[in-house]
Chain A
């Protein structure tokens, strides 16, 4: 058994790269080049160079070749060096591993020993049992000579029972002890393994980098090689050099991977044996050995032992138990017992074990399988041919080659390794994947959750051509921001199918929140925080708090997002509507008129401009709000407006629908404007750049959830769909109508968002080194939006029946094709969290410049030394300490401390900076200071 467990490392190291053979390698194999001596090559080149018969280009080529060769030599040296050190490390690892195996061996011996001891104990128990039985029988014979009466039987049974329990308890305690010891050892071992694994991971990454570098440079090399291809020998040799470089690199990386694989395998293998559910692995397996004494409730479920058959007088039934124990042991060692269901226990045990431990497959299938696995996981290589790349600044025709989720090359006639999946774009647009900057997936709402969780939501996003979402973390007021953030991270990491980032909503404000915000910015990759001006008594912030938050964020480099609506007036209006008996969804829009949104936007802009903080207005739903943003931008404020899919695509007339469910499905806040020209207007503003980014504010509730507010519109959960429709809708409403061009389209759907989040150019741009999130956009396809076909879980689609032109034909996310020919292949949980760093240039360049400008200076004046009136600090008995300042700032008049001084210029007068103070313009005819009553002040 133990032999079977120790992983056969040796098989793995032999043929590391059977699949990933590069073109060069193939070439080398064909040419039969095995090894090259670089100095020889250089010599050869020198000779060629000496030969004066060569043309200029040829000589240049030779010089280039020689440079390349010397470079190659250097690399090889480097690689060899690394290889050697890696080998050394691997040796060390192997030694460690051997040690570990030994340890494992000891452990297992120990285990066996314990088991033996246990068995012995059982034997003893059985013997005791037997003697007891005998004694009882003897008793019976001697004392009475007749069968026991009922009472006695009962007594006897209880006595036996008691004994049995005692024994059982003892044995359990014993077991517990053993198990605990084992657990400790196991923990240590596991820790060790993890360390090892990490180490190998790091090494692997190093090698990966090296390999990348080399491959990249080899591309150049190959180009060079093609130049000098006419020089027969030389060319061949160069290629050979390249081949050798590649071979050595791949060998190194291959072996390391194999090494890692081995380690990983071992870890995986070891896991089930020792750490079989560490938290719960208490007595469960032990139940099997209960034998006669096992009467624990529920114990019968996991075994077939018939205890009745073991009752007094039927000793023969012990045989099946021993047999059981053997199989039990057998099953135990490769895997946890609990994994094996009782039905298929003995016959399928080994099979099951095999399934759970990949090691079995490993040894049988060999290395090819492994490498294929690796390839699937790590390096998907894709080539998009013949597409028109559209960025926010320009469009051009080029091919894109991506690998490992990153765009590696862009250009014509790319040289790519073999075995690459190629997509023919046939001149279609290739755009950076959309970024939906505002979603509420899996948002908890009063005990329920939105119907679209991260899996469903991000799936819909991908279907619509959006490859990244930014979700809002909404901590309950009074709860920790950090905990909420962790919670959202957990949800999203589990389920998200595409990359994501997070905004955090600030729902209350105090010093501890301040600290949390700071650490979120610094450590957790959040750079945008939303505050609410609506939802009175719940999320709403007062003006002072807004001021405080904005100035805090401005210092730390965050972006302040606001939900802009005047919550106080809304509360009043809502009460009025309900009084008037309006309870349907139309009350929602009636109680939240457009003006309240515009007013709050105006206020937010004012506060932001006071605090010099970049402002981001989420959900621009009305013309007047958009106007105010546009005016503010014209005045030079740093403001970004985000219209959402709903406001760009539909209007608020539906609130008056006679169908309650339909009307309710449009409820969101700020509400959709009942003015039917709003979508058109917002699209125009988006095209002109007055509004900067688009989100969807996707937050869907089922009709049943919406029906919470069937008798009171204020209770209707708010939110509409839109993540899937966003890109198509903007294309249809803005691009096909000629309002914006394709580049602007990319800017508003993706690039601007990336810039605001400080993720540019990793996201939002097709460039070498950017993430391989692409959409091949079909400008001509027409589809009709309907809830029947959409990917969201909601029953209603607010865009129901809308015909939209333009749709993604293929979507590539993290370098993998997720949408192809209308079919979706998403993998839940592959989405990575993308941390956003503070001080995004897009917003903060201007802010920083202003900060330097906006230094305020006092006017240097002499001390006022005239008469001062008496005044009382209290105003008519009201407790408020001061008329205008905060109580803490109140400088109470100190009668002992007179400002009067005989010297004209007292010391505490600030530094005199006469040149910098604003000089009064000569405009008004101020002739003289009145009458020169010089006793009023002494001019300094």
Chain B
């Protein structure tokens, strides 16, 4: 591609050299007026009166905003589910993403439980490389935890540029991991320098609730939200935060769908935990009242998990948290299914494939819902459009692009307009209005969950890899040109704090002398030990102890009962069988207050 010369001047496809003139460059920290010159998909110069070679395509921005292209941190294009594949494949999906101003997506690799992570990763690479129209990267989901998994994760991090892994607290008996497994996964992730993502819902409770709801005869999509109450999400978030804190691992909560879950995250951040929360287009743009729609197909199209909250104030609340920085990044969790695919759950809501659309609408929704300069005149003209002024343009860039780039360690290559960054730009028109509808969207599905919502603000021009892909409303994506962006571990944004903490939290024992007082006998009753090998410790430890005990017992005889033939009495103070526990009596030696023979003070 670099072989092309500007002279050929077939701008739509071939032009590598681009000049954006008179733009207001919006980064997450500041906005300023400057021109941008890019070549070979990289920004080469920024400034006024740039000296550029001839034959350059020039885009006149006329003082409109130019911002870094959006990064959609959570998509599931072409996801296999029970023999089906989600409706939008990588081509369709990335096309929609570009149409919405998103120039990079990060997709989830979902290996079947028991299948090699690396194999699944390669499969996804293959799919995406052949079809993707924009740069992409991949998260890998840990769907089962066994001995080989750890090495595979290591391989992925070291050789394949993956620095984020998702674990599931939901989907009992399928993807769900137990608390101890998650503890172990998180420890491994911390050691690898990656980021732990969590799908936070209590799968055990959900399974019980689903059974109950079905027993009640509720089989429609409303059962989905009834069986997954908000509390269950908040509980799992809380648990994940706790485990992450214990393991000193950075945590990233995918799909924050409810107020209470967001609150838990905000609270944890206040306590200093390294936690990031990702609300998605759906939770920011609509609510869960639609589950009660009389139209089954419509109700089913909202099915995702965690479900949309039936509380209609949720989107507004999440937007506020996003504005104030309690939630940091936005994804779309784009995972669409045709109505006919959804219909496999027509008699049982638990079978409905889960996922909503949102990759195309994400940027506009966030802008239109709550962003932009507060323009009173505009507001009076179009009172229906809520321009709440919660967030400024810089914060908008931060939540749609920069934060994601920082967390996943692709900053400043992505997420910033700077010399040397990738030429992924969006020329944003804050005044453009649009009514979202399934008729006009770039997706393959029949339903759009944001149907009828009028949004303000949208991309006028989208430049991806230094090429114009959207101009004057027409989309020119190139199938298969998307590159895999490999991500390095130990992202600064995340791990600076973690590293400092791991130095701090070194634990030390108290130096003490050996306890030399009497020790009570423990009879290892077969009943207690038959059910389990240990009371509190891990099996390995317990075995050691049991061995020790057995050794002790062997010294005395088979049972630690009082042996009348072998007197333990000796005239010298030291006794031959000090290690044999004496019989316990009340108030064996003396006590509180000071006879030093209970312990040696070290």
Contact = CB atoms under 8 A, between A and B. Distances in A.
A617 to B, nearest CB: 15
A391 interface: no
A703 to B, nearest CB: 6
Interface string A623-648: 00000000000000000000000000
Contact of A609 (B213, B216, B231, B338): B231
B536 A476 contact: no
A568 B523 CA distance: 26
A352 to B, nearest CB: 34
A584 interface: yes
A106 B601 CA distance: 78
Contacts of A479: 527
A715 B524 CA distance: 12
B41 interface: no
A933 B222 CA distance: 22
B297 A866 contact: yes
A911 to B, nearest CB: 10
A603 B535 contact: no
Given A573-B246, A708-B522, A930-B437, A795 B590 contact: yes
B180 A571 contact: yes
Contacts of B598: 659-661, 703
Interface string B319-348: 000000000000000000011110110111
B115 A861 contact: no
B592 A788 contact: yes
Given A658-B601, A793-B587, A885-B350, A866 B343 contact: yes
Contacts of B158: none
Interface in B496-520: 507-515, 517-520
Contacts of B508: 582
Nearest to A539: B535
Contacts of A924: 286-287, 312, 453
A706 B581 CA distance: 12
Contacts of B375: none
A476 B246 contact: no
A119 B591 CA distance: 65
B515 A660 contact: yes
A577 interface: yes
Interface string A699-731: 001111111101010110000000000000000
Contacts of B178: 568
Query: Chain A interface: which size bin?
Result: 35 or more
A714 B208 contact: no
Given A869-B340, A930-B447, A596 B242 contact: yes
A885 B207 contact: yes
A596 B174 contact: no
A569 B243 contact: yes
B521 interface: yes
B229 A476 contact: no
A544 B536 CA distance: 21
Contacts of B294: 859-861, 939-940
B510 A656 contact: yes
Interface stretch (B149-157, B538-546, B567-575): B538-546
Contact of B343 (A446, A568, A864): A864
Contacts of A542: 204
Query: Chain B interface: which size bin?
Result: 35 or more
A536 B589 contact: no
A610 B586 contact: no
A936 B515 contact: no
B374 interface: no
* Interface SS of chain A: loop
A433 B99 CA distance: 74
A869 B515 contact: no
A572 B289 contact: no
B63 interface: no
B183 interface: yes
B522 A891 contact: no
Given A451-B586, A606-B235, A870-B83, A548 B208 contact: yes
A920 B310 CA distance: 9
Contact of B344 (A451, A877, A893, A931): A893
A526 to B, nearest CB: 23
Interface in B374-388: 384
Contacts of B438: 930-931
A572 B234 contact: no
A858 B220 contact: yes
Contacts of B218: 856-858
B84 interface: yes
A660 B512 CA distance: 7
A679 to B, nearest CB: 21
A936 B346 CA distance: 12
B246 A927 contact: no
B242 A595 contact: yes
A593 interface: yes
B207 to A, nearest CB: 6
A97 to B, nearest CB: 49
Interface in B13-60: none
B577 interface: no
A429 to B, nearest CB: 31
B562 interface: no
Contacts of B509: 580-584, 586-587
B238 interface: yes
B290 A920 contact: yes
A928 interface: yes
A537 B287 contact: no
Nearest to B229: A610
Contacts of B239: 566, 599, 602-603
Nearest to A593: B246
Interface in B413-449: 435, 437-439, 446-448
A707 B517 contact: yes
A886 to B, nearest CB: 6
A925 interface: yes
Contacts of B527: 476, 478-479
A869 B343 contact: yes
Interface in A571-625: 571-575, 577-578, 580-584, 586-587, 590, 593, 595-596, 598-599, 602-603, 606-607, 609-610
Contacts of B541: 574-575, 578, 712, 714
A583 B545 CA distance: 13
B584 interface: yes
A42 interface: no
A939 B222 CA distance: 16
A872 interface: yes
A378 B354 CA distance: 71
Interface string B263-301: 000000000000000000000001101101111111100
A34 interface: no
Interface string A855-888: 0111111111011111111111110101111100
A581 B509 CA distance: 7
A893 B348 CA distance: 10
25 contacts: A446-B535, A536-B536, A538-B535, A547-B208, A572-B538, A575-B538, A587-B509, A598-B238, A603-B202, A606-B231, A710-B514, A795-B590, A796-B592, A860-B294, A868-B344, A871-B84, A871-B341, A875-B112, A882-B350, A885-B211, A891-B351, A918-B310, A924-B312, A927-B451, A937-B298
Which 5 residue pairs spanning A and B have beta carbons closest together?
A876-B112, A447-B523, A543-B204, A872-B83, A927-B452
Interface of B: 81-84, 112-115, 171-174, 178-180, 183-184, 202, 204-211, 213-214, 216-220, 222-223, 226, 229, 231-232, 234-235, 238-239, 242-243, 245-246, 286-287, 289-290, 292-299, 310, 312, 338-341, 343-344, 346-348, 350-351, 384, 435, 437-439, 446-448, 451-454, 507-515, 517-525, 527-528, 530-538, 540-541, 545, 581-582, 584-593, 598-599, 601-602
Given A788-B593, A875-B174, 20 more contacts: A446-B523, A537-B532, A538-B534, A543-B204, A544-B172, A544-B205, A571-B536, A575-B537, A703-B598, A705-B584, A707-B520, A714-B541, A715-B535, A795-B587, A864-B343, A876-B113, A884-B350, A889-B210, A930-B448, A936-B297
